[in-house]
Amino acid sequence: MTALGKETIWVAADRRLSYGPGRAPIDDAMKVLVLDSVDGKAVFAYAGLGATSNGMQPSTWLRNVLRGRSGKLEDYLGLVADKVGEQFPRHLSKVPGGAHVFLVPAFIGRQAAMFAIECVVDSFGGARHRYTRLVRPEDMRSPATLCVVGSGARSLARDSNVWGRSLLNLIRDEEAHGTGTRAVADGLAELVHRAHLQTSDGSVGPRSVVVWARAHGTKRDGGGHAFYEGVHLDPSPDIRLGMIPSISNGTDFNAVIETSVAVLGPIMEAWVNADGDAEAEPLKFDPAALNEKLEALADSPDDRLR
């Protein structure tokens, strides 16, 4: 589910990966990615292919495709659309419905836009993909634009006028009066939880992630995210799963953070365990070793979905 306000982007996604009747689902997927470009900001969310047979999730693929590339936001999106058409068809034959869709709410400067990138494989093996751009005029009266995709959309459609109005009011109040992001995030998590309870095939999971971002240049520039277990905040998500995939002008911040944590984590753990012990060995940090690992990180694109 995505919501696009006058100055904010909101995205909520469940974390379930379903493997059919022969294998239990898991709930640690990351179906979102934040993208910063020289002229804007966007958040990708998707439904359809949760992971390839080799375990690659589309969010990881997006990180690889966008890594090392810089440019304007619509250049990025056009590139992703082309790569989706090249890489996704062979993986969609086993996906129910044979379809995958990326929803991409975005701001180009301060102008709000909603994008969709879709790929569909029919029963005869034919494939088609589409890239759609929808821009909301500056004078549009509606406080936000909502989009819902995936197997849970059908259950939410029955009373969308009710919950949609409530959610739009929460976003309007947050933007106008600074009432806080928690109320909006809680509202989105509640809707994902409702879809989980009402989707009989079990394809929507009980855990979710909510991501928000603001257009560049707003008074409260920035963003954040929250993880939920049902309608409650997840008290302690694993740090490796707690990072939202993020690309900023071609830089893969997740890779930088993951590498830094791998090097500094044991040092910090030893410091905590020492707890003032005068006889403990002094902590040793080798910045050259960290720099060597950071310099070894991949910095060029990889378009393969495998």
Q: For the domain that residue 248 is a member of, what is the CATH number?
A: 3.60.20.10
**Residue 272 maps to a domain:** no
- Contact 70/38 with Cβ under 8 angstroms? yes
Give the SS3 label for residue 302.
Answer: coil
- Contact 82/303 with Cβ under 8 angstroms? no
Report pLDDT for 289.
83
Q: What is the pTM of this model?
A: 0.89
* Confidence tier at 79 by pLDDT (50, 70, 90): very high
Residue 114, domain extent? 2-253
**Residue predicted with more confidence, 256 or 60:** 60
Stretch (H or E) spanning 217: none
**Residue 269 maps to a domain:** no
**Residue 294 maps to a domain:** no
Q: Mean pLDDT throughout 162-184?
A: 93
Report pLDDT for 240.
46
- Contact 55/48 with Cβ under 8 angstroms? no
Q: In total, how many domains does the chain have?
A: 1
Rounded Cα gap, residues 182 and 186, in angstroms:
6
What is the CA 259 to chain-centroid distance, rounded? 21
**Residue 191 maps to a domain:** yes
- Contact 233/210 with Cβ under 8 angstroms? no
Report pLDDT for 237.
58
Q: Mean pLDDT throughout 111-129?
A: 91
Give the lowest-confidence range in 40-49, 82-91, 109-118, 270-279. Answer: 270-279
Per-residue tokens: 262: 């791998």
With a cut of 60, say whether residue 78 has pLDDT above it. yes
Each residue's pLDDT tens digit, 14-55:
999 988 777 889 999 999 999 999 999 999 999 999 999 999
With a cut of 80, say whether residue 302 has pLDDT above it. yes
**Residue 291 maps to a domain:** no
Each residue's pLDDT tens digit, 217-257:
887 767 999 999 999 998 765 544 458 999 999 999 888 88
Q: What percent of the chain has pLDDT over 90?
A: 64
Output the average pLDDT for the chain: 89
